[in-house]
A and B are shown apart, each in its own frame.
Chain A
Amino acid sequence: MTYKTDLPVMLPMKRREAEPFLSLKMWYILPIALLAILGPNLVVAQSTPESQSPIAVLLNWAPLLLKGFIFNLVISVSAMALGTFVGAILGLGQISLFAPTRHSSWFVTQFFRNAPWLVLLFFAMFLLPFEINLFGFKIPFPDWFKAILGLSLPVMANVSEIVRGAVRSLPSGQWEAAESLAYTRLQTLWLIILPQCVKRMLPPWMNLYSILTMATVLASIVGVNEVMTLTGQALASEGGRPDLLAPFYGFVLLLFFIYCYPIAKFTVWLETKYAVIS
């Protein structure tokens, strides 16, 4: 299964292992995170007896941090849903027979695909009003909502490329067979081309989702109350104890790992499964 694209997100996961750190596996993050969480406890045990051990402090804060993490997931799922919906339309626009549609879809895709995610996030944050007036109703635009919009832009552009790449990767014989059976172009897309593309789009789409989930921490920079922001606040209210840094950020690392690793595994499994079939 090959996609005609230079988009890293669309390359199969497996290929990433064939890079300089040949033996580095994704799950190694697990012991690193655990070491970060547990390590400082061993040191602290001998130092100041009156203060709580880092692990105890972490446990106090864990429910709040977990809530923040769930907010990250809400942002990621919403941005993914929105980005996928608009991106799918944009991707179909890229294969339109109507040249102006094709060219403008291509331009929008390339524009947002080649912009840093953080810049797009800032754009959404500072260019969108905090509320809009719609027929006399004031609809508020909270920060988290703007973060979703901002993150959905690169998702949209990448989904657009995934759709275009998947449609292009089908043999032209499928189009010709459908044409010679007098299907309309819309029927051909809907009944014949897209159903075959779903399988091809799923792995890169899930890779994209993993990347998006990890990118939701960018929202902390613009002040959304997600897990990184909360971690920073927790550390501050504990008086900035340096021995807490590693356990707290290790915990955040662990949360993302527990969530993203199964997705990555599942993606690889899907890829091998479909590679065998097609």
Chain B
Amino acid sequence: MSWTPADPMVSLKNVHKSFGDLKVLNGVSLDVMKGDVICIIGPSGSGKSTLIRCVNALNDIQQGSILVEGQEVNDPKLDKLELRKKVGMVFQQYNLFPHKTALQNVMMAPIRVLKQDKAQAEETARGLIKKVRLEGKENAYPGELSGGQQQRVAIARSLAMRPDVILFDEVTAALDPETVGEVLQTIKDLAEDGMTCILVTHEMAFAREVADHIYFTDRGVIVEHGPPETFFQNAQDPRTKEFLSQIL
């Protein structure tokens, strides 16, 4: 049975994960279709980061199944490199390589990992830097850029690998309020281009605007999910209601 674009691009079934004795994920299931933007929200420590880090095998899981384009991630024989070429990731702390310029950060992986032609990779990288509205900053080092600018370079770096899906882990949480908007705008542009995105975020207004589907997690389970309108206006579970009342 081979995967077709009509099947979910990412599909989690009954995923269990614990760190030692600490159970972090207790049976999570969710499906993400191609072109979907899903947002995962929930209180701190509820396992959101762990959840998305399992998708690109930064964390392994003890039980359950994670399919990315039909490829099983919970498999000892998994080719992690092949998986990670399909799944991009953007981190809260940007994690740019500080000894490389913005342009080098973006074009290094296509050259070294995808073995792209250097000139072509550079052209693509320049295009991506323009796309995230950082023209003129190609030769700046990460240390010379603001948090928001660094995060946009990080998004461009991830895009340069032409992933099929990108994971965003609270990518605006470390930013100054003034620069949050520019990063959210960049993600919104991506979403409109049809990129499949899985976002962990605390930006409710943003989630409401861009998400196709919202998942609320608490203590390692998905408590409630639905399209943004119903989710925000018609939450059923008391835990969701309480969380939303605190945050809105």
Binding site for B on A (CB under 8 A): 171, 173-174, 176-184, 187, 191-192, 195-196, 277-278
Tell whether, in the assembled complex, residue A191 and residue B88 are in contact, meaning their CB atoms are under 8 Å apart: no
Chief secondary structure at chain A's binding surface: helix
Q: How large is the interface on B (under 10, 10 to 19, 20 to 34, 35 or more residues)?
A: 20 to 34
Q: Is B204 an interface residue (CB 8 A)?
A: no
Given contact pairs A173-B93, A176-B58, A277-B143, A183 touches B99 in the complex (Cβ within 8 A): no
Q: List 9 A-B contacts (CB under 8 A).
A: A173-B95, A177-B91, A177-B96, A180-B58, A180-B88, A180-B89, A181-B84, A181-B109, A184-B81
Residues of A within 8 A of B58 (CB): 176, 179-180
Query: Which A residues are CB-close (under 8 A) to B161?
Result: 181-182
Q: Which residues of B contact A176 (CB under 8 A)?
A: 58, 91, 95
Q: Which residue of A lies closest to B161 (CB)?
A: A181
Task: Let me know if B99 and A196 touch, CB within 8 A.
Answer: yes
List the interface of chain B (C-beta within 8 A of A): 56, 58, 80-82, 84-85, 87-89, 91, 93, 95-99, 108-109, 112-113, 143, 154, 157-158, 161
Contact partner, A173, options B84, B87, B91, Cβ 8 Å? B91
Given contacts A173-B95, A196-B97, list 4 more A-B pairs with CB under 8 A. A171-B93, A174-B95, A177-B96, A182-B81
| Chain B CB within 10 Å, residue with most, of A176, A179, A182 | A182
Contact, CB under 8 Å: A183 / B91 = no
Contact of A174 with B84 in the complex, beta carbons under 8 Å? no
* Separation of A184 and B88 alpha carbons in the complex (Å): 15
A177 engages B85 (CB within 8 Å) = no
Q: A173-B91, A191-B108, A191-B112 are in contact. Are A182 and B85 (CB under 8 A)?
A: yes
CB distance from B188 to the nearest CB of A (A): 22
Contact indicator B98/A181 (Cβ below 8 Å): no
- Enumerate the 6 nearest inter-chain pairs by beta-carbon distance, A residue then B residue, closest first: A177-B95, A182-B84, A173-B95, A180-B89, A181-B109, A182-B81
How far is B96's CA from A181's CA once the two chains are assembled, in angstroms?
11
Complex: how many Å from CA A180 to CA B96? 12
Find out whether the CB atom of B99 lies under 8 angstroms from the CB atom of A181.
no
In contact, B112 and A174 (Cβ under 8 angstroms)? no
Q: Are A195 and B88 in contact (CB under 8 A)?
A: no
A residues near B97, Cβ cutoff 8 Å: 174, 177-178, 192, 196
Cβ contacts under 8 Å, B84 to chain A? 179-182
User: Could you tell me the distance in whole angstroms from the C-beta of A184 to the nearest C-beta in chain B?
Assistant: 7
| B154 nearest CB across to chain A (Å) | 8
- In the complex, which of the residues B89, B98, B113, B154 contacts A183, with contact meaning CB atoms closer than 8 Å? B113
Chain A residues closer than 8 Å to B96, beta-carbon distance: 177
A275 → B minimal CB distance (Å): 14
